[in-house]
Amino acid sequence: MERFDNIPEVALSWVREGRRVALATVVQTWGSAPRRVGSQLAIAEDGAMQGSVSGGCVEGAVITEALEALEDGQARMLEYGVSDGDAFAVGLACGGTIRVMVEPIGPVLPIAVLEELVAARAAREAVAVLSPENGPRRLAREGFEERFRMDRAGFEEDGTFVTIHNPPLRMIVVGAVHIAQALVPMARIAGFDPVVIDPRPAFASEARFPGETILEDWPDEAVESLGLDARTALVLLTHDPKLDDPALIAALRSQVYYIGALGSTRTHAKRVARMQEAGFSEGEIARIHGPVGLDIGAAGPAEIAVSILGQAIAVLRCP
């Protein structure tokens, strides 16, 4: 499956191979646009591309403009109307309009800025790339708190376009149980980087979670080694306070954006009592979503996993 979240890394690797590269970014949309503002497409001088700005309906025109930008070293601001016919071809009900900014790397977007961006992303730092209408591109780590929180790129009042690069979403699942077996692949498809924690070898096995990151550590040690930040969702699935509570306490002391804990209403009441005894306030305990998941009448592990993933996304997108 093609990834759409590693465009800066791909662009930098191409530059380091000696290829000329341009970066195309969706800066505005109207109507039923296939890709959100901030979506990117990297184009190399040989026509290679990675990413998407429209789902396929205007990529050819963007590539042509990008190749011309590589020749003259100038940025371009493009606007395309996606017709109803083209929109239908890429799975949309109706057309829309998008604006795309094309920046040659080197002449417009300095290689040093791209290198700093890639390093920040590797360190899970939230950064913004500032692209003024007339002026040098640069990175910023402060001053755009609302954009970082909403994960929302866009224009500032002075005409500067701000591309937000938040750390990748991460889902830490404590308890390698049957629900986790359904949740982890769903979370990966939805754009999360999942990690499974369970000290019980019979549960935390490669056979049960092929190709996934599994930590056979006690949850408190594992979450400490991973780090807990505002782009992390923590899901507790063991039902065992000896396993769940240490990770839960660490999460309540962190800025994780979502905490979900499996269990009945009675189980959650006991959990709340334990957290009160541990010294947490009513407001802090209210961060726990328990019983976990949206109330969709879920039956079975897969449907429960859908409800958990839906709730984690809803908390992120509709705070």
Instruction: Say how many C-beta atoms besides its own lie within 10 A of residue 95's C-beta.
Output: 18
Rounded to 5, what percent of the chain is helix, strand, coil?
35, 25, 40
Residue 230, token pair as written in the block: 């505002």
pLDDT in tens, 51-70: 988 766 688 889 999 999 99
CA–CA distance, 86 with 305 (Å, rounded to integer): 35
Beta bridge pairs of residue 96: 31, 82
Q: Please determine, for residue 88, whether its predicted confidence score (pLDDT) is greater than 70.
A: no
Mean pLDDT of the chain: 91
Percent of the chain surpassing pLDDT 70: 92
Query: When comparing pLDDT for 149 and 72, which is higher?
Result: 72
pLDDT reported for residue 32: 64
pLDDT band at 308 (very low <50, low <70, confident <90, very high): very high
- Please check whether residue 258 is in contact with residue 289, taking contact to mean a CB–CB distance below 8 angstroms: yes
Within the chain, where are the H helices?
7-16, 59-72, 84-89, 111-122, 145-150, 178-189, 219-226, 241-252, 265-277, 282-285, 301-317
Q: Please determine, for residue 119, whether its predicted confidence score (pLDDT) is greater than 60.
A: yes
Sign for the CA dihedral angle at 305, 239, 262, 215 comes to negative
Integer-rounded Cα Rg, in Å, for the chain is 22
Query: When comparing pLDDT for 2 and 85, which is higher?
Result: 85
Show me where the domains of the chain are located. Answer: 7-165, 170-317
Percent of the chain surpassing pLDDT 90: 77
Within 123-156, where are the H helices?
145-150
Whole-structure pTM over 0.95, yes or no?
no
Q: What is the DSSP letter of 79?
A: E
pLDDT in tens, 135-178: 999 999 999 988 988 889 999 999 999 999 998 899 999 999 99
Q: Please determine, for residue 91, whether its predicted confidence score (pLDDT) is greater than 50.
A: no
Just give the CATH number of 170-317. Answer: 3.40.50.720
